[in-house]
Amino acid sequence: MNKEGKTYALLATARIANVPSVVSNLGVGVLLGSLDTGADFSWPWFLTLAALLFYVGGNFFNDWADREWDVEHRPERALPRGLFSPKAYLITAIACFVIGLVICGFCGWRALLIAAFLVCLIVWYTEIHKRTPLSVIPMGLCRAVLPVLGYVGIREGFSGVALLPATALLFYIIALSLSARWESKADVPEEKKLISRMLLLAAGVIASLLPLMVMPVVGWVGMVAFFMWMGLCLTKYRSPVPAHVSALLAGIPLVDWVTLFPMALIWVRLERVEPFDPMFSIAVFLPPVAFVVGRVLQRVAPAT
């Protein structure tokens, strides 16, 4: 693909490589909220579209807000190069938010409320992310909201079950952000870098709590792939920093798999689903497919 063209610039703005992980994050909540549907389960395509609109709209909004900073620090981006007007990016972002909110409104007032909260988080993060290190919190919350949106959107109600994968994602995104910041600085003490690694560990442990509580004998199996990839992120892909960040971004769906893979096996053991029916298959295959597709898409356009 021509890296000087508008198509590449739009894919880079949308952070297309991270889109599969958004579907995976939403899917954790969707599947946990769908357990009582049994054979009547169907994937919520419109809710998925809304989640993608929020993510893509957030990226356009972020690049619009950062356009002056990018002139000096990220001149390869579309707006500093003059490929599009800032007004076009702002209109695109607003349109994505509005359409996403309308879709969620049809999923119920609770889904609309969660979606509105997500848009507020996106705006808050965009406003402060260049001014304070604490911006990692709203950034993490943006991801953490996705499982909750999936659960509420499919079930039209809320349960604390959705908070476990949400908290795991919060910890993971904060760890990713801190790791990217500290690995790029040679003068950062190892004690600080250890914090990000401990948060990565915590993300995996928190994600495993639900299956471990339900059936400890199989509740741990989802952690295997996650910790293997984290090991590679902290060794083989530790440097250069862009490779490290890209590897961690690709690993976001593996946080979901820590929960979903053992839960799929547990559901079969408890005769809640049949092997390889839609719920089982999506739980088993969605996160690893999202991981692989995201990793491939990183070769098409940058993930950051």
Residue 1 inside a domain? The answer is no
| Domain housing 272 | 6-297
Q: How far is the C-alpha of 20 from the C-alpha of 11, rounded, in Å?
A: 13
Is there a contact between 248 and 275 (Cβ–Cβ < 8 Å)?
A: no
Tokens encoding 126: 């965009």
Domains of the chain: total: 1
CB-side neighbour CA atoms (13 Å) of 166: 24
SS (H, E, C) the chain: CCCCCHHHHHHHHCCHHHHHHHHHHHHHHHHHHCHHHHHHCCCCHHHHHHHHHHHHHHHHHHHHHCHHHHHHHCCCCCCCCCCCCHHHHHHHHHHHHHHHHHHHHHCCHHHHHHHHHHHHHHHHHHHHCCCCHHHHHHHHHHHHHHHHHHHHHHHCCCCHHHHHHHHHHHHHHHHHHHHHHHHCCCCCCHHHHHHHHHHHHHHHHHHHHHHHHHCHHHHCCCHHHHHHHHHHHCCCCCCCHHHHHHHHHHCHHHHHHHHHHHHHHHHHHCCCCCCCCHHHHHHHHHHHHHHHHHHHHCCCCCCC
Burial class (CB in 10 A: 0-12, 13-18, 19+), 282: buried
pLDDT tens for each residue of 23-40:
999 999 999 999 877 667
Contacts of 166 (CB under 8 A, 6+ apart): 29, 144, 145, 146, 147, 148
Residue 302 inside a domain? The answer is no
Residue 122 inside a domain? The answer is yes
Residue 303 inside a domain? The answer is no
Residue 157's pLDDT band, with cuts at 50, 70 and 90, is confident
Residue 192 inside a domain? The answer is yes
pLDDT tens for each residue of 83-97:
999 999 999 999 999
Which pLDDT value is given to residue 256? 98
The pTM of this model reads 0.94
CATH no. for residue 202?
1.10.357.140
Which pLDDT value is given to residue 31? 96
Residue 132's pLDDT band, with cuts at 50, 70 and 90, is confident
Residue 152's pLDDT band, with cuts at 50, 70 and 90, is very high
Residue 158's pLDDT band, with cuts at 50, 70 and 90, is confident
pLDDT tens for each residue of 259-285:
999 999 999 999 888 898 999 999 999
